[in-house]
Structure 1
């Protein structure tokens, strides 16, 4: 087998592993959010709002790689459930920022705790040095994906 065939085979195997990994992690996230009465996307929204204070709808949509109307629809549901509040932007009152309410913070913490417990359970048999190595490799992978011209842009 030549070098090109080996590389193609390696790429195909990585794709297969990505499919399995995303499916398994997606199911884990679905279980953690649905038990709390929100969708997986809404769970992602709560997480992102917690990470970025005074985030606008546009910024949130970009982070989630979603269009503004989809993001707005999910935000509306979270506002109705009193998990998210819309506030005037601290520097420009023409804009609205998104913040978690106390109820939203508690829910996000509950989801985070469930996810943390599940991930800890998955990795309990992994030696510490392997855990450190894996964390570094996953971080590198996310950077490579971010730099790719074909990855991680919102669908339009």
Structure 2
């Protein structure tokens, strides 16, 4: 198991997941790694509630709320009360938020393309399938966890 942990640690570093200013460094956008995940999830989920996105990302609501407030100030997201329950805030992307996300998407597609370019078609398929299997296993173990959160000890 130590080699699996070692491989995961190396992957996280090489993929740049520890870089606090990832988007600024990669595609010139002034958003943090967490903010790029928030933008991605808002797009993926449609018009989610703040609670839904916070839960999906495993971020406590107070921290998440601060992030959203900053992103609102930067003109990246909108927040509006739900028509069904005025206590619930729904999130949306602004045109600027969509533009930033498109730049991040392009950058990531280019980088993943570079990584896959040194692999055979079989290796690309195995890698993609293995990542899917690993994510499914993480989800199952996470659901079974008492706190329902991430698997890693250092969340």
TM over 0.5: yes
Task: Mark the CA change 1:55 to 1:143 in structure 2 (over 3 Å): closer, same or farther.
Answer: same
The counterpart of 1:33, out of the listed 23, 36, 40, is: 23
Partner of 2:113: 120
| Runs of 4+ residues deviating >6 angstroms | none
Task: Mark the CA change 1:31 to 1:15 in structure 2 (over 3 Å): closer, same or farther.
Answer: same
Give the structure-2-normalised TM-score.
Answer: 0.84
Aligned pairs for 1:65-104 (under 5 A) are 65-104=58-97
Which deviates more, 141-150 or 117-126? 141-150
Task: Mark the CA change 1:66 to 1:27 in structure 2 (over 3 Å): closer, same or farther.
Answer: closer
Indicate if the aligned counterparts of 1:32 and 1:115 stay in contact, CA closer than 8 A: no
- Computing the radius of gyration from Cα coordinates, the structure with the larger value is 1
Structure of higher RCO (CA pairs closer than 8 Å, 6+ residues apart): 1
Unaligned runs of 5+ residues in structure 2 are none
Task: Determine whether 1:132 maps to 2:128.
Answer: no
Aligned length: 146
Partner of 1:153: 149
Residues 115-152 of structure 1: per-residue CA shift (max 9 Å, x gap): 11011111112111221121011100011111114597
Distance apart, 1:22 and its partner CA: 1.4
Distance apart, 1:42 and its partner CA: 0.6
Unaligned runs of 5+ residues in structure 1 are 1-10
